[in-house]
Structure 1
């Protein structure tokens, strides 16, 4: 009886998720696998679902009802059925930026960030689709917030085997960088300043260890709307080892319509374009 009840509850979750526009790209069997990590929670009007400043540990999907995003007692926006809650804290690895308060009775599906990491390992294809959903939602909300920085950077990143080809590229076009601020890793910046000794306009330092997920990651900068182009040189054979992270990063570039170069020839084309 317990197993039967559990199956019925799981089917309810699957059916509820399949109805949502946000999951329109998922197959039924993918939703079924994803739903194994989901828990459902009912909420009452006035209930605080997420608190500003707290470290985000879970993502919410509104199944029924409405919630308000509140800051300093002001309702910034109302979220309804099918919308996500808390994904910005996940994607950008930062604390909650506002309170989430129920505007009506309703129900939310919850998945922890730890379980999302498990999905990356056990169901990588589902994880890629999920990251695409999260990044699109984050982009839409960042657009709504209208808090874009006025700086626009050209991101230049490379793995260690490609350091000197990319440095040679930077040196050959050093006049270009005077009017185009770049975002690079501290290690690349160190090589440029100590070994090459050229003065270029470095606007931001990045963490190459994770393409997405931290405030200093390339993905966070892209989602802020402050990237004109990305030059990403990597050794293709080595790239396979980190394929999921790279796939998520490529999706980000597609979602945000950011020109992406993966070799010197396409990097030159981007400079010509800009």
Structure 2
């Protein structure tokens, strides 16, 4: 699976701890992240992560572009709901794209925990079926 990892500044440590805790699962997948978040996770876990620009500089939009061309399977985005974000329109666009393209999205650690266990069990096979249908049709 192709998994995007994003975190607002106040949630970066939480995401690093989360990825560290589930490192063996994440190590089996292709990882993408916005700039600072990705670099911090790489430094802490040694995982290979494709890093885009930081969120405010267009990283959210770069991840959104992958969603729009069916190149991402899951998004884990630890949002800070208590702090105004200068790039909030970009964040909203990313969340909208996840809904439009049926991309599972976890915006907090509780949802991410459920999602990572689903990934481990292989519960996201419906994405493979969708891809096969598109290739045949």
TM band (smaller chain): 0.7 to 0.9
* Cα offsets for 1:50-102 (capped at 9, x unmatched): xxxxxxxxxxxxxxxxxxxxxxxxxxxxxxxxxxxxxxxxxxxxxxxxxxxxx
CA contact (8 A) 2:3 2:32 kept: yes
What's the CA shift for 1:185?
Answer: 2.6
- Report the Cα distance in structure 2 between the residues aligned to 1:240 and 1:190, rounded to whole angstroms: 20
What's the CA shift for 1:273?
Answer: 1.8
Q: Look up the match of 1:200.
A: 47
- Report the Cα distance in structure 1 between the residues aligned to 2:31 and 2:71, rounded to whole angstroms: 11
Larger strand share, 1 or 2: 1
Change (3 A) 1:238 1:252: same
Q: Give the secondary-structure state (helix, strand or coil) at the position aligned to 2:83.
A: helix
Q: Give the secondary-structure state (helix, strand or coil) at the position aligned to 1:155.
A: strand
- Report the Cα distance in structure 1 between the residues aligned to 2:100 and 2:112, rounded to whole angstroms: 20
**TM-score, length of structure 1 as denominator length:** 0.39
Q: Give the secondary-structure state (helix, strand or coil) at the position aligned to 2:73.
A: strand
What's the CA shift for 1:256?
Answer: 0.6
Aligned equivalent of 1:170, options 16, 19, 33? 19
Q: Look up the match of 2:115.
A: 270
- Report the Cα distance in structure 1 between the residues aligned to 2:80 and 2:71, rounded to whole angstroms: 26
Q: Give the secondary-structure state (helix, strand or coil) at the position aligned to 2:102.
A: coil
Q: Give the secondary-structure state (helix, strand or coil) at the position aligned to 1:232.
A: strand
Q: Give the secondary-structure state (helix, strand or coil) at the position aligned to 2:14.
A: helix
Structure 2 counterparts to residues 236-247 of structure 1, below 5 A: 236-239=81-84, 241-247=86-92
Change (3 A) 1:163 1:240: closer
Q: Look up the match of 2:135.
A: none
- Report the Cα distance in structure 2 between the residues aligned to 1:170 and 1:186, rounded to whole angstroms: 16
Change (3 A) 1:205 1:238: same
Structure 2 counterparts to residues 110-259 of structure 1, below 5 A: 152-194=1-43, 196=44, 198-202=45-49, 204-207=50-53, 208-209=55-56, 210=58, 211-212=60-61, 217-239=62-84, 241-259=86-104
Higher relative contact order (CA 8 A, sep 6+): 2
- Report the Cα distance in structure 2 between the residues aligned to 1:266 and 1:239, rounded to whole angstroms: 22
**TM-score, length of structure 2 as denominator length:** 0.74
CA contact (8 A) 1:180 1:201 kept: no
User: What value does the CA root-mean-square deviation take over the aligned residues?
Assistant: 1.8
Larger helix share, 1 or 2: 2
